[in-house]
Amino acid sequence: MYFCGLTYFSVKQQLLCFLLILSWAHSLSQHTFSICAVDTVTGEVGSAGASCIDDIGCGGCGGVVIISGIIPGKGAVNAQASVCIPNYNLQNALGWMQQGFSPQAILDSLQANDACAWYDWSRRQYGIVDLYNGSARSAGYTGINCLDYKNHITGSNYSIQGNILLGQEILDSMEARFLNSNGDLACKLMAALQGAKVPGADTRCLSSGNSSLSSYLRVARSTDTASSFYLDIVIKSGPYGYEPIDSLQELFDSMHSCTASSIEKIKGTSPVNLLRNPSVGTLSVVVSRQGNSLYRLETYDNLGRRISVHEFRKSVTWEINAISPGNYYYTITDVQENKTIKTGILHIE
């Protein structure tokens, strides 16, 4: 261990040493339990996870979502434990996936070409899944020097991994919930996270009585783009003592249903248009469906708190000047049919 003292170093050397220490600290950001999976029938790709590191704790990195990478129609990579910020290894893995590398070949390439070579491969953890000729492939890796308890589980279409855990029961519970829950891929991912919602699942959060401090769930359809997923819900951080998986569940329930009869999945051209998104001053919503149904527009912040409700027939204009800039989640429901017809992220500038 080297010490940057004042006696033997010039000002320039002290600054360089400080920057090296800062970069070293950032490379040690730890993240815990997560799952990535694919659906060979629908072509959907998804990822979900939680950690006792939040957006503030990792210097504005976005919380646990920093571990997640998705390529619509191809696959997903979760890169966690000791990671670089930015997560260069994750970006490299996605690049190899785009080139057609298998999950195991991606792991081999990551080991041979670690983007943070000054740190130890044995402290990395990965879960990788992809779609290949109508089938699913998966691979996982847990470095021997990741913080205990650590392990991973892989199945035909999923990989579950965690470190700094209470024990193997956290991963086993996630797997059981994923395999035995009804609904589509998003529902199974949400159920898997609920399987880990116990105090101290990430042992650093035991004193607060929570499983974690930040959480996320992301699902992409094959027609989505790399910058716009069907579901992209992130709880970056929150007040001490709150449970981010519960906040994630509230947002998830407002945007998605796990009963086949209660959600209309939009394919092709959407019957709903949001005008001026990103928005400044006003937001207009226009529904082009036939009939004169009553619709409800509900908006939520990133802690799952509903901040507005508007009911309308064909269109509505919402004055948003009083809303702080940022990203919000919205859902539009056909009130008579009790069907969600559109969900998404609203950008307010």
- Round to whole Å and give the CA distance between 136 and 129: 7
DSSP 239-298: -TT--HHHHHHHHHHHH--SSGGGB----SS-SEEEEEEEEESEEEEEE--SS---EEEE
Alpha-carbon span 192 to 219, nearest angstrom: 14
pLDDT tens readout for residues 89-109: 999 999 999 999 999 999 999
Using CA atoms, how far apart are residues 151 and 165, in angstroms rounded to an integer? 9
Banded pLDDT at 134 (limits 50, 70, 90): confident
Which SS3 state, helix, strand or coil, does residue 220 take?
A: strand
pLDDT for 9: 35
Query: For 185-214, what is the mean pLDDT?
Result: 86
pLDDT level of residue 193 (50, 70, 90 thresholds): very high
Reduced to 3 states, what is the DSSP secondary structure of residue 182?
coil
Report the DSSP pairing between strands 68-71 and 75-81. antiparallel
Task: Identify which of 110, 90, 74, 98 has the alpha carbon closest to the alpha carbon of residue 29.
Answer: 90
> Has residue 278 got a pLDDT over 70?
no
> What does pLDDT average to over the chain?
79
pLDDT at 153 over 80: yes
Which phi and psi angles does 72 have, rounded to 5°? Answer: -55, 135
Q: What is the CATH number of domain 25-254?
A: 3.60.20.10
Is 50 exceeded by the pLDDT of residue 279?
no
pLDDT in tens, 13-41: 333 333 333 333 344 455 689 999 999 98
Considering the entire predicted model, what is its pTM?
0.70
Q: Is the pLDDT of residue 257 over 50?
A: yes
Name the most confidently modeled range: 108-117, 128-137, 282-291, 315-324: 128-137
Residue 86's pLDDT is 75
DSSP string of 295-346, one letter each residue: EEEEEE-TTS-EEEEEEESSEEEEE-TTSPSEEEEEEEEETTTTEEEEEEEE
Which strands, in side-by-side order, build the sheet including 295-300? Answer: 306-312, 295-300, 326-334, 339-348, 272-280, 282-287, 315-319
Residue 228's Cβ-side half-sphere holds a number of Cα atoms within 13 Å equal to 8
Q: Are 162 and 172 in contact (CB under 8 A)?
A: no
In this prediction, residues 312-340 reach a mean pLDDT of 78
Calpha distance 326→300 (Å, rounded): 11
Domain boundaries, the chain: 25-254, 271-348
Q: How far is CA 252 from CA 190, 191, 193, 248, 329, in A?
A: 8, 11, 12, 6, 10
CA 232 to chain centre: 7
Give the whole-angstrom CA distance, residue 130 versus residue 298. 34
Q: Does the pLDDT value for residue 161 go beyond 90?
A: yes
Do the first three CATH levels of 25-254 and 271-348 match, i.e. the same topology?
no
Q: What is the dihedral of CA 335, 339, 342, 347, to 10 degrees?
A: 50
Residue 35 has what pLDDT?
96
**What percentage of residues in the chain have a pLDDT greater than 70?**
77
Window from 84-88, 122-126, 177-181 with minimum mean pLDDT? 84-88
Write out the two tokens for 246. 């519960």
Average pLDDT over every residue of 177-196? 92
Least confidently predicted of 173-177, 220-224, 336-340: 336-340
Quote the CA–CA distance of 68 and 90 in Å, as a whole number. 8
pLDDT at 219 over 90: yes
List beta partners, residue 345. 329
- By mean pLDDT, which of 115-124, 208-217, 282-291 is the weakest? 282-291
Q: 271-348, superfamily in CATH?
A: Immunoglobulins (2.60.40.10)
